[in-house]
Chains A and B, each alone.
Chain A
Amino acid sequence: MLRTLLLLLAALSIGFGSAQTSIEFWYAFSDAPRSGWIDDRIDEFNVTLAEQGLDYRVVGERKGSYRETLQAAVLAARQGEPPHLVQLFEVGSQLAVDSGIFEPIGNLGGLDASLYIEPVINYYTIDGAVNSLPFNSSSPILYANVQLMEQAGLDPDALPETFGEVMDACETIRASSVSASCITFPLHSWLFEQWVAEQGAMLVNNGNGRDARATEVLLDSEAALRVGQFMADLAVHRDYAYTGTLEDWSGSEAIFGNQEAVFFITSTADAGNITRAAADVGFDVRTGLLPIPDGVERNGVVIGGASVWLTKGNPQQELEVARDFVLFMTNAENMVSWHKLTGYYPVVDASVALLEDEGWFEAEPNFAVAFEQLLETIPNQATAGALLGSFLETRTIIGEALQRIYSGGADVEATMRQAKAEADARLAEYNANF
């Protein structure tokens, strides 16, 4: 309460006290390391603004979760007081476009999209225009407990790269003296989406919603059924461990950290944390590519995460300062420090070169796999990621379907078809707004 009051007072004093125009940047991180990093960049940028004699000043504001940030931005824009920059997650992309309050940042000029890593910028390029600038991006990789693998008689130098190899490893683990489960990962639609993209398949029709508005969620495609079948295969001998709660990132991390599972699939953004936590407990972690279905060519991952959007309705010059701030925040040097702090990918090619030059990948081999996976990703519609207005509901529907298959032993095809019907109904409901 007191803080809100102080913020209000601060806002008032800015409004009345000085002629400086503030450029508002709304973001969703609430943890100290990441929001602190942003605050530092803002301070640096404001110094350069002052040096250039410009009467602008960037002001960062935490707005809660991504969802709340989007809601707040939409409401503010409707009341005629939009912020300048808003950080949004990738699943909100279609909603953000449809809300009509944002201006594709590429339309403003002064932006060289070729500096960005292609599969990353690919996600945020809609109808040929760069809609928003990628900021924090990640993808899933495999983490393995080296000691448990050795104890089970598995070779830690040959990590499983396909579902079949995972199942083989699970069988070996079951037959061994290791009491830990074979594998854990958060039961999250995000992984399902990655597995579909790795097969070069679409999550929704109309070119993943990029040629035209999507009307169907392809949950009964061959690619989708392979993922469902993987959950069913894991269910036979209960090889998969999870807390039972959907999207429980920290729960799965705890299972792996307590050595209750040999393998773990989660975001590259956790590579630093997991390696450190494992060292505390006393085991080694090795990372590998995300295991994919057998018999398909590795197409690559969807590099989602979050990006920074520019809102309409502010004077041109303010928009340009806002754009310059994002370009500064995501420049090569800053992205290197961002990557080292969090494990998110640096989003520009030049950062990768900087990291290579200073020998970062030799020092931190677990990060190298993440990059290999990113750089080998083939830029196409599958890896660009799906666009659909009802993405949030669809994620829940997919998560529940996988849970039904694993926990309830439901039939794969019937379950996925039922999920498709539900997801299609929600999508049709959303599309009916237009």
Chain B
Amino acid sequence: MKDNAVFKSRVLPWLLLLPSFLILLTFLYYPAIQAWVLSLHRSNLFLGTRRYVGLDNFRLMFTGALADKYIQVVLQTFLYGFLVIAIGISLSMVIAALASQKIAGARVYRLLLIWPFALSPAVAGTIFLFMFNPDIGSVNQILNELFGVKPRWLDTPTLAFGLVVLASVWKNLGYNIVFYLAALQNIPYELAEAAAIDGAGPIQRFLRITFPMLSPMTFFLVFTNLTFAFFESFGLIDILTKGGPVGFPPMDAAGVSTTMIYQVTLDGFGGSGNTGLAAALGNVILFFVIVMTLLQFRYGGRRVQYGDN
């Protein structure tokens, strides 16, 4: 495209973009730069001190006595992110495909499936906390009736980690399903019809037609889920496990459900409060997310099929 078909003036598009730019500048770019500057300082919330320390905050994280802790936190954040994205996206794709079938009450099902998205992380966390309370929770009451077991969901390292993953997947399910439902509406029915006439079964139609046709949406959702897993897991974790419990060796240097963003709040506001250290970890998260997004665009983008050619 050489010339601009929509806008006659050169100024108008910029003018229209201006509000978004202002918001991005105030709430995203400026704080991001501030966070980078802060990460080069030792700054204490209580003392009001701020001293330039170069890369000391980064060194503190990844060398010396605290290295084990931070490396474990980074590793488990990646595992958490991978599981939340992989389980969340595949599950919501299947559910959305089922919910878009033309059956009685489909609208009601769809509405109910979208519902978890409307809950705040605090509410979602509290629901899970009650359901999985080892002594009085409904899950253990049922398990105890059926099998006579009462798993300790909140303090067994593997179970607690799994529970946080499960809660995050559930919390995001509604969001993913909304987008998949919308995308499914846009897949031309003729494609499936033609395939059916050619003798393709439902599973084959899903794998050969629906799945590839959904790939632009999957591409988008992987990215949004990635940002959720890395930036927005605090609320759920704070209510469910407070980052704990300490795992078994070699994962015993930190609480197993402590993600990087949770550690940021611990460092910044939890104890004696070095906000510089918290900012440094925040920048590490941002770095990982940027790298993964670039990788996704570089390698994932090729596989996306856009239906408009």
- Chain A residues with CB under 8 Å of chain B are 70-71, 74, 78, 95, 98-100, 243-246, 254, 389-393, 396, 400, 403-404, 407-408, 410, 421-422, 424-426, 429-430, 432-433
Say whether B166 faces chain A, with CB atoms less than 8 Å apart.
Answer: no
B270 & A433 in contact (Cβ 8 Å cutoff) = no
B51 & A393 in contact (Cβ 8 Å cutoff) = no
Say whether B171 faces chain A, with CB atoms less than 8 Å apart.
Answer: no
Say whether B154 faces chain A, with CB atoms less than 8 Å apart.
Answer: yes
Residue numbers in A under 8 Å from B66 (CB-CB): 422, 425-426
A285 → chain B closest CB, angstroms: 22
Task: Write the B237-248 contact mask toward A (1 if CB under 8 angstroms, else 0).
Answer: 000001011101
Mostly helix, strand, loop or mixed at chain A's interface?
helix
Residue numbers in A under 8 Å from B23 (CB-CB): none
A245 & B244 in contact (Cβ 8 Å cutoff) = yes
Task: Write the B126-139 contact mask toward A (1 if CB under 8 angstroms, else 0).
Answer: 00000000110000
Cα–Cα distance between A70 and B270 once the two chains are bound (Å): 12
B60 & A407 in contact (Cβ 8 Å cutoff) = no
B47 & A243 in contact (Cβ 8 Å cutoff) = no
A390 → chain B closest CB, angstroms: 5
A389 & B252 in contact (Cβ 8 Å cutoff) = no
What is the chain A residue whose CB lies nearest that of B155? A244
Cα–Cα distance between A432 and B51 once the two chains are bound (Å): 10
Cα–Cα distance between A124 and B6 once the two chains are bound (Å): 73
A425 & B64 in contact (Cβ 8 Å cutoff) = yes
User: Known interface pairs A243-B155, A390-B272, A392-B271. Does A433 touch B44 (Cβ–Cβ under 8 Å)?
Assistant: yes
Task: List 29 A–B pairs whose Cβ atoms lie within 8 Å, in order of A's numbering.
Answer: A70-B46, A71-B45, A71-B269, A74-B46, A95-B46, A95-B47, A95-B272, A100-B47, A244-B152, A245-B154, A245-B155, A245-B245, A246-B245, A391-B272, A392-B272, A393-B272, A396-B271, A403-B246, A407-B155, A407-B246, A422-B65, A422-B69, A425-B60, A425-B64, A425-B66, A429-B60, A429-B277, A430-B274, A432-B42
Cα–Cα distance between A421 and B242 once the two chains are bound (Å): 23
A403 & B245 in contact (Cβ 8 Å cutoff) = yes
Residue numbers in B under 8 Å from A390 (CB-CB): 271-272
Residue numbers in A under 8 Å from B48 (CB-CB): 74, 78, 99
Mostly helix, strand, loop or mixed at chain B's interface?
loop
B95 → chain A closest CB, angstroms: 33
Residue numbers in B under 8 Å from A389 (CB-CB): 272
Residue numbers in A under 8 Å from B277 (CB-CB): 429
Say whether B49 faces chain A, with CB atoms less than 8 Å apart.
Answer: yes
What is the chain B residue whose CB lies nearest that of A432? B42
Residue numbers in B under 8 Å from A421 (CB-CB): 65
Task: Write the B241-264 contact mask toward A (1 if CB under 8 angstroms, else 0).
Answer: 010111011001001000000000
Residue numbers in B under 8 Å from A100 (CB-CB): 47
Cα–Cα distance between A374 and B50 once the two chains are bound (Å): 42
Task: Write the B65-81 contact mask toward A (1 if CB under 8 angstroms, else 0).
Answer: 11001000000000000
Size range of the interface on B?
20 to 34
What is the chain A residue whose CB lies nearest that of B156? A244
Cα–Cα distance between A407 and B271 once the two chains are bound (Å): 25
A386 → chain B closest CB, angstroms: 14
Q: Which residue from B44, B245, B270 sits with its C-beta under 8 Å from A244?
A: B245
What is the chain A residue whose CB lies nearest that of B160? A244
Q: Give the most central of B154, B272, B277: most A CB within 10 Å.
A: B272
User: Known interface pairs A245-B154, A400-B246. Does A429 touch B47 (Cβ–Cβ under 8 Å)?
Assistant: no
What is the chain B residue whose CB lies nearest that of A70? B46
Q: Which residue from A98, A396, A400, A426 sits with its C-beta under 8 Å from B46?
A: A98
Residue numbers in A under 8 Å from B246 (CB-CB): 400, 403-404, 407-408
A425 & B65 in contact (Cβ 8 Å cutoff) = yes
Cα–Cα distance between A426 and B53 once the two chains are bound (Å): 16
Cα–Cα distance between A408 and B157 once the two chains are bound (Å): 10
What is the chain B residue whose CB lies nearest that of A243? B155
A71 → chain B closest CB, angstroms: 7
Task: Write the B273-296 contact mask toward A (1 if CB under 8 angstroms, else 0).
Answer: 010010000000000000000000
Residue numbers in B under 8 Å from A424 (CB-CB): 65
Residue numbers in B under 8 Å from A243 (CB-CB): 134, 154-155
Residue numbers in A under 8 Å from B252 (CB-CB): 404, 408, 410
Pairs of residues from A and B, 10 with the lowest C-beta to C-beta distance, nearest first: A244-B155, A393-B271, A392-B271, A421-B65, A425-B65, A433-B49, A390-B272, A430-B272, A400-B246, A99-B46
Residue numbers in B under 8 Å from A429 (CB-CB): 42, 60, 274, 277
B277 → chain A closest CB, angstroms: 7
Tell me the chain B residues, 1-56 only, with Cβ under 8 Å from chain A: 42, 44-49, 51, 53
Q: Which residue from B47, B154, B271 sits with its C-beta under 8 Å from A426?
A: B271
B47 & A433 in contact (Cβ 8 Å cutoff) = yes
Cα–Cα distance between A180 and B249 once the two chains are bound (Å): 30
Residue numbers in A under 8 Å from B274 (CB-CB): 429-430
Question: Given known contacts A393-B270, A403-B246, A429-B60, what 4 new A-B pairs fall within 8 Å (CB)?
Answer: A98-B46, A99-B48, A246-B245, A410-B252
A313 → chain B closest CB, angstroms: 14
A67 → chain B closest CB, angstroms: 8
A261 → chain B closest CB, angstroms: 14
Residue numbers in B under 8 Å from A392 (CB-CB): 270-272
Cα–Cα distance between A421 and B66 once the two chains are bound (Å): 8
What is the chain B residue whose CB lies nearest that of A423? B65
